Structure 1
Amino acid sequence: MRKTKGFTFPNIFPPSPKPSLTRLRPFKAYSFVPFSPLAMLDPTIITIGGIVLGIAIIECILERWGVI
């Protein structure tokens, strides 16, 4: 049988860099763009939703006419 050699974690990986002694001052972040529900009106989303809604309406009309 072969002998296996054990490795400890610090021997395999180099030690992590020491943190700098300077402390970062906390700062407040403000958002200049308030959230608006109108931001959800993305043209891509509106286009996809319009296509899906249009297909559903066409299916309802065709069902009334007896085509489907």
Structure 2
Amino acid sequence: MALATDFLQDVGPKKLGWCFNVYLIQLWEEPDKNNEEKINSIDIQDIKGTRVQGSIPDSLFKQWRG
């Protein structure tokens, strides 16, 4: 059975667990405000076209880099 997928535009405080199906649009390097050696910024989009920016763990950033 397939999991129900949530959309980014539906995020709100009434639910704690989410299941997103998103595309990586852009991965860029921006220093963390608390530690300039950490770089971990990401831009993602869901299938409805809603885009969000965020940060990801350093280990995942290194995996997607290049």
TM range (shorter): under 0.3
TM-score scaled to structure 1, two decimals? 0.17
TM-score scaled to structure 2, two decimals? 0.17
Q: State the structure with bigger RCO (CA 8 A, min sep 6), 1 or 2.
A: 2
Structure number with the higher strand fraction is 2
Larger Rg: 1
